[in-house]
């Protein structure tokens, strides 16, 4: 068995890189060879936590495969030092004896001027893994990691946090949803009525303002139903800069009336949707979160 060493400079501070190494959404975007699609089945980023990932392509060739089109691997986290070090074991899921055996990967992060120096040591490579393939895989993956961590600016900076206020309106087993307008991010998908909180604006006032703008309704706030939190990393499917989206989801009792679609805004349609039919719609993650909150209350 063999050990390989890899290095990558990233124009982003260590805490951002560390989070990208442990965020399953980010891992699915960067820890994947070109020409393959990644799916994270399990990812528990704490000491002793387990993970399992599969990679799929359309060329049923090569060794170490779990099935004709899939390579899968699993492992566990052995050591975590916040913003500094990640140690994990990895093992391919294969019947090929040349590809079997537990590997160990040690990733160290060091703050340097202008960003982070990442070093990775891959220990215990099975005899069936060619060193040139391992080196190429690491170079491609680390370049993708750098791309989703770095910002379009001169020098490292933490990605912004977007704070929004959203209305969870449920009446007679129906939930109020708004459809994103064509040309908008997630155009054609459904979300909760609401939007960004302006600087200095009270979120409780913001959600009522957005409810009026997007649905033509007023309402009374009964409390906070939940806090939505989601980190959007840069990826080929989403090439924009990373952003942390936090949404305050208010439980709102609407004053019923005729719905009014927003004119020339971020949404183009609003509707009362039966809760048992909402999951069949294309929902943004925020809306799926809201539907889950509503279902747990019924």
pLDDT at res. 237 = 58
CA distance 222 to 225: 9
CA distance 81 to 14: 12
Residue 1: closest CA among 96, 100, 71: 100
CA distance 102 to 189: 43
CA distance 281 to 151: 33
pLDDT at res. 281 = 93
Q: Name all domains of the chain by residue range, CATH numbers in brackets.
A: 2-149 (3.30.530.20), 161-297 (3.90.79.10)
pLDDT at res. 264 = 80
183: left (phi over 0), alpha (psi -120 to 50) or beta: left
Q: Which residues sit opposite 81 in a β-bridge?
A: 85
Residue 142: closest CA among 109, 171, 169, 113: 109
Q: Residue 160 carries which DSSP code? A: P
Helices 14-22, 131-149: inter-axial angle, 10-degree rounding = 120
Q: Residue 198 carries which DSSP code? A: P
Q: Which residue has the tokens 């999951």?
A: 279
Contact present, 196 and 163 (Cβ < 8 Å): yes
Q: Which residues sit opposite 54 in a β-bridge?
A: 39, 72
pLDDT at res. 210 = 94
CA distance 120 to 134: 12
- Exposed, middle or buried by CB within 10 Å (0-12, 13-18, 19+), for 244? middle
Q: Which residues, given as ranges, of the chain have pLDDT below 70?
A: 1, 58-69, 151-159, 234-241
Helix (H, G, I), strand (E, B) or coil at 61: coil
pLDDT at res. 37 = 84
Residue 293: closest CA among 225, 227, 204: 225
pLDDT at res. 98 = 92
pLDDT at res. 32 = 86
Both tokens of residue 22? 């442990």
């Amino acid at each position: 068995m063999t050990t390989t060493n890899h290095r990558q400079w990233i124009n982003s501070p260590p805490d951002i890189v560390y989070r990208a190494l442990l965020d399953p959404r980010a891992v699915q975007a960067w820890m994947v060879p070109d020409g393959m699609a990644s799916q994270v089945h399990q990812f528990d980023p704490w000491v002793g936590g387990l993970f399992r990932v599969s990679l799929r392509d359309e060329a049923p060739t090569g060794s170490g495969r779990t099935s004709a089109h899939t390579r899968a691997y699993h492992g566990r986290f052995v050591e975590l030092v916040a913003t500094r070090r990640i140690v994990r074991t990895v093992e391919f899921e294969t019947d090929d004896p040349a590809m079997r055996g537990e590997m160990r990967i040690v990733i160290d992060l060091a703050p340097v001027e202008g960003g982070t120096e990442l070093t990775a040591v891959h220990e215990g490579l099975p005899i069936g893994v060619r060193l040139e393939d391992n080196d190429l895989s690491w170079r491609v993956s680390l370049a993708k990691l750098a791309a989703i961590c770095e910002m379009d600016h001169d020098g490292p900076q933490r990605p912004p946090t977007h704070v929004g206020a959203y209305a969870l309106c449920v009446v007679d087993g129906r939930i109020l949803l708004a459809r994103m307008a064509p040309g908008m991010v997630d155009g054609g998908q459904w979300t909760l009525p609401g939007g960004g909180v302006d600087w200095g604006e009270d979120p409780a006032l913001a959600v009522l303002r957005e409810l009026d703008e997007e649905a033509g309704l007023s309402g009374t706030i009964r409390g906070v139903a939940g806090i939505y939190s989601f980190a959007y990393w840069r990826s080929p499917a989403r090439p924009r800069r990373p952003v942390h989206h936090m949404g305050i989801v208010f439980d709102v009792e609407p004053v019923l009336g005729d719905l009014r679609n927003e004119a020339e805004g971020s949404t183009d349609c609003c509707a009362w949707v039966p809760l048992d039919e909402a999951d069949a719609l294309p929902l943004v993650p925020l809306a799926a979160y809201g539907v889950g909150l509503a279902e747990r209350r019924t």
